[in-house]
Amino acid sequence: MFIQPNELKTVAYEYQLQQIVDNDNTIIATAIDAAIQEAESYLAVGYDCEKIFSAVGKKRNTLIVELIKDIALYKIVRLSNVDMLYENIEKRYDRTIKYLERVASGKLAPKLPLKTNTAGTPQTRFRFGSKRKFRH
């Protein structure tokens, strides 16, 4: 698993999470899996999600780990608002999604493995076209 449930302690206290999920860690694992899939839906446009999310330990991209934690926390907190400020968590989730949207659109380029073609060379994303025809 890309992120272990105990790693969420950097975004919420353990007692808060356990109160929300009623000591059922499968809910936390499901939220983490859903968070990864949500992030993949943005990153898959130009990045090799298989490599990104199969990395373990120090080989993981720290920023992506933190973004996944924010998404997972948002999905968990939907169950209940136990001793947490829902508005702050919602703002963090919204910032995360905006960041992923900017990555997907090509406005940001995090240091992540790019998709490769069958020859093993990275696929570059580029836009092409022209301005609208000018008629007098």
Q: Where are the domains of the chain?
A: 5-105
Whether the pLDDT of residue 84 is over 80: the answer is: no
pLDDT at 128 over 80: no
Band the pLDDT of 83: cuts 50, 70, 90.
low
pLDDT at 130: 77
pLDDT of residue 59: 94
State the pLDDT at residue 6: 92
pTM over 0.75: no
In the chain, pLDDT over 70 holds for what percent of residues?
Answer: 93
More confident of the two residues 87 and 32: 32
Name the amino acid, one letter, at 114. L
- Secondary structure class of 48 (helix, strand, coil): coil
Query: Three-class SS of residue 47?
Result: strand
* Average pLDDT of the segment spanning 46-57: 92
Q: How many CB atoms lie within 10 A of CB 12?
A: 20
Tokens for 5, please give them.
């449930």
* Confidence category of residue 53, pLDDT binned at 50, 70, 90: very high
User: What's residue 125's pLDDT?
Assistant: 61
Q: Are 42 and 103 in contact (CB under 8 A)?
A: yes
Average pLDDT over residues 74-87: 76
Has residue 89 got a pLDDT over 60? yes
User: What's the Cα-to-Cα distance from 59 to each of 2, 54, 56, 85, 131, rounded to whole Å?
Assistant: 11, 9, 6, 32, 43
Q: Which residue has the higher pLDDT, 51 or 80?
A: 51
